[in-house]
Amino acid sequence: MRLGLRLAWASVLLGAIWVGDVIAAPLPLPPSIVPAPIESARGARLIKLDRLAFRLREGQVWGKGGSWLVCDLAPAPLYWKAEEQDWDLSRFAAILDEEAAQLGLPTGGGNLFEASTPNGSLLVGVAVDNIETRLCVFYPDVGAERFRGEMILTIEWQIYDPLQRRLISRVKTRAGARLRSEVVDGIDRLLHGAFRENARAFLADDDFRRSVVTDPGAPSPVAQQWPPLRLTASGVQPRPPAAAAQSAVSVLSDAGHGSGFLVSSNGEILTNAHVVGRSKYVKVRWTDGTEALGEVVRSDPRRDVALIKIAPPEGRAPLRLEQSPPQAGEDVYAVGTPLDEAFEGTITRGIVSATRVTDGLRFIQSDVTVNPGNSGGPLVNSRGQVIAITVASFQPGRTPTGINLFIPIADALSALNIQVRD
């Protein structure tokens, strides 16, 4: 990390000799912040450092430096040279992960479903607005110069939710680090040390904690914008799993195609938010080829569920919903339109493998076979009752593993502020 340090250190030394009455005291560092433990940290969303930017102006003074003999006498200004920067984002990301792990927050290394979970991670951007530095350089008889000193960073942290496609929080921090002994990589150590102190301040911030910590299965804040929608389940009888295909649909939108299923005789259909994408209107196709125009009336990208409204369909029976959690080992059946629209109404069989919480959200895990296009379709039990919605498949290298994730139907209803009455 060069940080624009192409200085004529001999000139710095000469300047110090001629103007020896100017003294630069060590920089006073802001107090260190030790983040308090986070309650329910295991249920928090994964955070990932996505980008790093330095917003200093070309030629801006970002510090002062001098030779070790007269380090605090007439230090020379250090000017910012943008073209000399060479950032290694992985090191900064590792520092943030290390500090997050100290609080028990989930990190990428321990999240089996990181690559396939569509609700995804919160992305963190770092904008360094200012640098304050005092450097002392030491010239050994042999080898590279060594540095010590202090560095303070002023950072704006931006938290971006890719599902909501917006910034959800901005956090300002100012913190620094000190090196008391000269080392060859002193500038890097100061930069990374100052970044670590800022990361701790960021992780301690109330806005950050409100953004990252969620209660699994709790109603999404998005749901508060909608009035309660009450669906009546009276008259909806359990059916054999094979009959569920008659109430399943293919959903065609600007985002491609996926699956869905009828949950009321009034024409309400549940699917995934990522299936409808940004579309206001979608095409709904039944297994007999009949089509209808649907309007996306509710969508929660974080829980990845959406509600489509079509005209009340004649002769179509909604599926009964079972909100009690299933037991491991229970037989389940996935219904949907995998891979191609020609395969609509496909039914596959498996068992419930486990219940998981990842990124603060509950999922049912099953080995039932699903593929792209199954998203949004129902997962039903042996009585033909919907227990979950298909959402993701863990397929590293596009190889099926039998590890698939489904949104519990109770959580899907809660996210969309839907109530079901018998």
Residues annotated catalytic, as ranges: 274, 304, 375
Does an H or E element contain 193, and which?
helix 186-204
Bridge partners of 150, per DSSP, are 134, 178
Does an H or E element contain 353, and which?
strand 346-358
Residues in contact with 362: Cβ distance below 8 Å, sequence separation at least 6, in sequence order = 216, 217, 355, 356, 407, 408, 411
For residue 412, give the amino acid letter: A
DSSP assigned state of 83:
G
Q: Are 154 and 174 in contact (CB under 8 A)?
A: yes
List C-alpha distances in Å: 91 to 1, 50, 88.
12, 12, 6
Q: Are 332 and 379 in contact (CB under 8 A)?
A: yes
Distance CA 405, CA 368 (A): 10
Three-state DSSP at 126 gives strand
Nearest alpha carbon to residue 338 among 370, 367, 378: 370
List C-alpha distances in Å: 230 to 247, 264, 278, 295, 414.
20, 10, 25, 18, 12
Show the CA angle centred on residue 241, arms to residues 238 and 242, nearest 5°.
125
List C-alpha distances in Å: 265 to 41, 176, 236, 269, 327.
41, 62, 9, 10, 29
Does an H or E element contain 89, and which?
helix 89-102
Distance CA 365, CA 349 (A): 13
For residue 297, give the amino acid letter: V
Buried b (16+ CB within 10 A) or exposed e, 377-403: bbbbbeebbbbbbbbbbbbeeeeeeeb
Nearest alpha carbon to residue 284 among 295, 276, 292: 292
